[in-house]
Amino acid sequence: MGNKPTIAISHLGCEKNRIDTEHMLGLLVQAGYGVDADEEMADYVIVNTCSFIQAAREESVRTLVELAESNKKL
């Protein structure tokens, strides 16, 4: 069995999103994935965001574009 990739989560949004992010991180660790707070060092980045408010949608798009431009797997 090979090593699983490391994963970072980019948290954008409200308190509910932060709780969801913490839950996802716990599940990833339980499944044996490496978790890194540094998006630069992680193999994959999960973007957990809110889309209820226009400004949040715009921030999400900017973040996704920046990560994609730095060749991150999303």
DSSP assigned state of 65: H
Q: Is the pTM of this model over 0.85?
A: no
Please give the span between the terminal C-alpha atoms of the chain, in angstroms, as a whole number.
Answer: 23
Report which of 12, 74, 2 is spatially closest to residue 43, judged by C-alpha positions.
74
Q: CA-to-CA distance for 23 and 55, rounded, in angstroms?
A: 25
28: left (phi over 0), alpha (psi -120 to 50) or beta: alpha
Q: Quick one: pLDDT at residue 1?
A: 41
pLDDT for 8-64, tens place per residue?
998 887 777 888 889 999 999 999 999 988 888 899 999 888 777 777 778 888 888
pLDDT for 2 equals 52
